[in-house]
Structure formats: C-alpha cells, structure tokens
Chain A
Amino acid sequence: MRVVDYMQNSLIILDVDARSQKEAITKIVTRMDEEGVVSNAAKFLEAVFERESLGSTAIGNGIALPHARTQHIDAITIAVVRLREGIDFGAADDQPVRLLFLLGTPLKAVSEYLSVLAKLSKILKDDKTRAKIFKAPTADAVRSIFEHAEG
C-alpha cells in the first residue's frame, strides 16, 4: 500500500490556527472524530499525548509525525494538518513545526504501521516534496504530491 492510500481529503486540513502542540493535535483528532475514524476520541488523544511525552515526534525541517497505536481506531489512518504559524515541538533542529502528519493505528497492525511510518518519513526527507506541501493550495493537491512522490 502507498502512503497516500491511508489519506483522505476530509482529513487534510490546511492553514489552521493553533498556538501549541496540544491545540494542534486536538484539532486534528476532533476532525477525525467528526469523520467517525476513531471510536473514542478522548482515549485516542490521550494515547497520542502519552507517546509524545516519551519523546518528540518532530523529525526536523518543520515537520512532526505524532502517532499512536491503540484499540480506539479500526484502520491505519493518516491525518494532515498545516498550521499558519509554526509551533514549538521539541524538535532536534529547534525549528518550529508547521506540518503535522498524525498516524493512528490499531493495536495489531504493527508491521504495516512501521512500514507506513518509514515510507512517510522517507518522502518527507526530500526538500522539493516538502516545499510543495508547504505551498499546496488544496487537500487534493497535497494528495497528488504524495502520489507523484511515490510514483
């Protein structure tokens, strides 16, 4: 499966206002809840924060990949949030984070989940791809960037 197969337009929210890591993540999870992707939004949120407390998921260059494996989601899902202003995410390169890819996974799908994370991370290492995502006007555009990047 390609990374883009785990994305859906309704879960790609562009140019959101958020002043903190917590606010940004809560906004995505709320959207996921509205879309019926998570079975228990509060518990799911808790799992994402707990993971974040063990170590930052910022990968540098203004991007973070918060993730959680819990029983409160039925299928691997990637939700995307692009912020208007960067926020502090405890990144190793100290850059504020403006782009979040939140990966939710059911408990059992460990191998698949790891391989999605690895693919996503690899795509985002590419400077040109990153630049395109930061400028993409619509959710469709974001998905087509991934489609293009994965060939």
Chain B
Amino acid sequence: MTVLSPLQWFYKKYIHKASGRLFLASIIVGIVAGIGAILFFEALSRFSHYILNVGANYFPPEPAGEVTGHAPLGGAIRWWVLLIAPAIGGLISGILVFTWAPEAEGHGTDAMIDAFHHKKGIIRKRVPLIKAISSIFTIGTGGSAGREGPIAQIGAGFGSYLATILKLTDDERRTLLIAGAAGGIGAIFRSPLGGALFTVEVLYKRDFEAKSLIPALVSSIVAYSIFASRFGWGLMFHIPQFVFRHPVELVFYALLGFLCAGVGLVYIKIFYGMRDRVFHVIRIPAQLKPALGGIMVGLIGLLAPFVLASGYGYLQQAMNGELTIRFMLVAMALKIVATSFTISSGGSGGVFAPSLFIGGMLGGAFGQICDGLFPGLISNPAAFVLVGMGAFFAGTAKVPISSMIMVSEMTGGYKLLVPMMLSSSTAYLATSRATLYEKQVNRMADSPSHLRDFTVDVLENMVVDQVYHPSAYVPRVRQDMPLSRMQALFSEGQESCYPVVGHDDKIVGIISLRNARAVLFDNDVDDLLIAQDLMTRPVTVTPAESLKSALKKFIEFGYGQIPVVDYRDESRILGFLTHEDVIQAYDEEIKRRKFAF
C-alpha cells in the first residue's frame, strides 16, 4: 500500500476524468499481465520440461513458434512417470485450490466471468497466485488443460486488485478485470486483438461488453508487447500457404460448422457430466479428486501420450498435413475424455487449448475425408484444421468473433477468415445456448452488472402514450366542491386518485383516496370539508413523456395514478397513467428483449 500511495496521489491529482483514469489503469494492468504471462509461461515451461522431458524422458512435438530446444536424449520413455505424474500434479493442485481458493475450482475463465457478473468484479487477492501455481502443477505434469484459464485469472485478479486499491467504482473494477484478462490472454497466445475481443465476448452468449473493449485493447497491446519482447514476435504456429479460392469449398466449411457443433455438444455433455455425475458424487475429499482425475489421464497417456498437456505440437503436425484420419479422430475423442478428467475433477487449467486441439483434429480428419471423397475440390485439406479450431471454440465457448481472430493471430492464417466466418457462425448458432462457460449469461440485460442501466434504459425508451388508458370522460372535482358531493362521485368511481381543478380548469391538486380515507364517508364533516382540504400537490404527465420520468413522479408523489394531460393545454385531461401500467410495461419489455434473439 505504501509503495502505491505516490501513484494514488498522482492519480487523484491528475487523472480526473473516468476515461483518462481507465486508460492509465489499463496500461498498468497490461504491464502486470504481460509480466505475469512471462513468469507463468517461463515457470510452466521449466516445470513441464523437468517432469515430462527429464523425468519421463518424453519429448512431445512442439509448435513451430514455441520451440524450446530440448532435444530427446535417447532411450526409452519412462512410462511409469507419465502414469503417475498427472496424479501427483492433480493431488498438489487439489490441495492448493481446495484449501486456499475453493471458489476457483475448475477452469479459471469461468471464475472471471462469475466475478464480473455477480461479484462486482472482485477477485480475492490470493486466487490468481493459487490458480497460477496449481495450474503449473496440473498442466506441467501432463494434465489435459490450457493456459488461458490461469492467465486470465492472473490478469483479471490484478485488474480487480488495482481498481480496489485506487478506490474506483464497481463499473471501473469490472472493466479493469476484463482488461487484465485481455492482457494475459493476448500475451500468452500472442493474439492481442483476439485476447481483447475474447474477454468482451466471453461474458455473454449473445452479447458483447462493448464499453470495455478499448481498455481491453490497451492492456492487450501492452501485455503482448512485453511478452513478445521476451519470447519473440513470431507466430505460435507455422502454417503452409492456405488459401480459399473456390465458393464450392464453402459447402464443406458449412458442414464442418455443423460437425463442430455436434461434437461440441457431446464435449460439453461429457465435460459437465463427468463433473456432476462422477466427481461430485464420489465420496472422497475434494482435495483428492483432481488426483483421481490425474490417474485416469495418466492411464490414457500410457496408450496415447498425445492427449497429455496442451498438445499444441500435434496440432502443428495436423496443420502440416502429417497426421492420418484415424490418428486425428482417436486423438480428438481421447482429448475430450482426458480434458474432462483433468478439469472436471477440480484440476486447474483452461478449456481453450483442449478445444483448439479437439476442433483442429476434427477439422483435419474431416478435410482429409472430404478430399478423399471429392478429389480436387478442396485446395488444402489441412486448412480445415485451422477452421475447425476456430469453429469448435466459437460454438462451445460462444465466442464466434474472437475465436477466429485468435486462431488467425496464432497461425497467420488470415486468408481463411471467410471460411472460418462461415464455420464459426454455423457452429455458434447450431450449438444454441450450450456452452463450456456456465457462468456466461445470455445478454447484458441478464447480468446483474447491468441491472441499473437496463431498468433506466427500458423506461427511457418508452413513453406514456404507449401504456396509459385514454378516456373520453375523466372524473374531476372542483376546488370548492364540498365533501358531501364528492362522496357520491368516489363511491361510484373506479379511480384511486382524482384531479382537483381550479376556476380556470387547470389541475391544482390531487385527491388520493388513500390520504383522504379518514374522512371519506364521515357525515360529521361532509359540509365542512371541500376538495381543497383533501387534496395534495398536483402532478401530471404528458403523452410524450418517458416512463422513466413518470416513474420518478410516482416515487416522489406516492400516488397510485397520475392524470395524463395534453401538453398544449394542461386543462385537457386525457386519461390516467397508473403505477401498475409502468411496472407491467417494464416487465413485458424485458421479456420481449430476452426472447428477441
């Protein structure tokens, strides 16, 4: 705190405007996210090298952009290490998470989404650290999970922390949470635009958090630049010259979209089914469950080591066209199961990398099958690997735009944007509302973070004219009308409030029957009291007035209904607007918006 107090001073003195404040804060968040990404990546690589390379003598292929230079030393793979390492990783990860940060169980991005919607953007300080360490144990020992979850939490956690110490508003904290996650993801995948878009897109199934986009971009640019300065500016994957040059190919890409949707739905079912029907039911302490998941992953790894860890090297091979249909289909299926064992048991790690693997293998197999069936129609079957990666994640994570941008930025495969747009949209729509991120909400209107905007927004866009009941005859009373005459009117009428008019017919007050209850049918005072004695402050609305303004009047005056008057001639009473009219209109509009998609 003392270290940051000069910063706090600078902040208060110079950064008055919210946009300036957020801009500066986004840069700081980007710096921390970039450094966090470097440390996380470095630690994960070293640990992974120690366990998988040195320990198991297992050297999986690497993506062309992340070559570590660790060459196989020769000799046989130590299978027993591969078998038990994920279990030990799971055990340590489980103990760390369930002892110190149980709210961060499973994949980290969901925890970030949850913090945004339901926790005012607050992430406990210890969570990013615990998640980072436990993810290193999970992924570094071969667990099938990715880096996006933990790095999103590291960045988001710092954004949240910075907003809290600078005493920013809840809205600003949410924005910095997003900016932090964007920086982390943009850096570690070397996908600055995709990372920023991903974080504003992943919060909703059918919406974008548009107002946080610029802070996310700022943070992402900074974080990416810092990360790339350390690890190089190249792409993660190297690809052959993929092109899209014949419209007929679109048919295959559309089919791939549907296929990604189908497999995606199965993936989501297995992923959460494993958690809800297997791991949540088993009666052992939660700390031990990731170890159990790890044992299962280790067993799969014995037969198929390619499902272990991120598997990016195998994706690279698929892009190079080096894998067979059979291998890719088996890898896809086993990856679904292994990822479910790793993450659904409570282990730490993201779902992005496994999704890319599954989608890529599916696309690769499909491309080769189509090429076999219709020789010459497809320019390069391996292009389907890239499109499959993008489309599969677009559908399962409900991120159609950022998914293809991320894949393009990671591979440089921009020439495939058009087919990717088709496959991604198809997969996105065909998976309907199913999602890997269960904390996502449908739209902004469904997020508690936007509750206030929407109440106001809905009522601001509707006017009195749309909801009030016009009436040819509106009962009114003269200012000097004795109670004895009003009694007849009140007992026959339906209204809860009556306008009181002066000699010029203008409204001078309102009689609310609730206020006048004490004397309404009292014969002792019916000659003494007149309308003026019973009335309270006048208030009216006009047909063109917004319901927001009308609601304010209902709250301020406390009447059940307010007379609607002609704005050109206030003595013309057109009807009544009731408090219920406003509430009902709001309710219907919200329902209509929810089902609009």
Chain A contact residues, CB within 8 Å of chain B = 51, 54-55, 57, 59, 65, 67, 69, 92, 107, 110-111, 114-115, 117-118, 121-122, 125
Contacts and interface: CB of A to CB of B under 8 A. Distances in A.
B519 A110 contact: no
28 contacts: A51-B532, A51-B533, A54-B479, A54-B480, A54-B530, A54-B532, A55-B482, A55-B530, A57-B528, A59-B528, A92-B527, A107-B536, A110-B515, A110-B534, A111-B516, A111-B517, A114-B516, A114-B529, A114-B534, A115-B518, A117-B533, A118-B518, A118-B524, A118-B525, A121-B524, A121-B528, A122-B524, A125-B524
B522 interface: yes
Contacts of A59: 527-528
A111 B519 CA distance: 9
Contact of A107 (B482, B522, B537): B537
Contacts of B524: 118, 121-122, 125
Nearest to B528: A59
B505 to A, nearest CB: 16
Contacts of B519: 114-115, 117-118
A117 B525 contact: yes
Contacts of B522: 118
B537 A111 contact: no
Q: Which of A51, A55, A57, A122 has the most CB of B within 10 A?
A: A55
Given A54-B479, A55-B482, A115-B518, A121 B532 contact: no
Interface in B517-550: 517-519, 522, 524-525, 527-530, 532-534, 536-537
A111 B517 CA distance: 7
A117 B518 CA distance: 10
A55 B480 contact: yes
- In order of increasing CB-CB distance, the 5 nearest A-B pairs are A115-B518, A54-B480, A114-B519, A114-B518, A121-B524
Given A54-B479, A57-B528, A121-B524, A67 B533 contact: yes
Contacts of B530: 54-55
Nearest to A67: B533
A121 B534 CA distance: 16
A121 B525 CA distance: 7
Contacts of B516: 110-111, 114
B44 to A, nearest CB: 68
B401 to A, nearest CB: 56
B499 to A, nearest CB: 16
Contact of A114 (B480, B482, B533, B537): B533
Given A114-B533, A115-B518, 10 more contacts: A54-B532, A107-B537, A110-B516, A114-B518, A118-B518, A118-B519, A118-B524, A118-B525, A121-B524, A121-B525
A11 B339 CA distance: 87
A122 B525 CA distance: 8
A69 B532 CA distance: 9
A110 B518 CA distance: 10
Nearest to A112: B518
Contacts of A115: 518-519
B537 to A, nearest CB: 7
Contacts of A54: 479-480, 530, 532
A103 B532 CA distance: 14
A39 B516 CA distance: 26
Contacts of B517: 111
Given A55-B482, A110-B534, A111-B515, A117 B528 contact: yes
A19 B529 CA distance: 25
Contacts of B480: 54-55
Interface string B329-349: 000000000000000000000
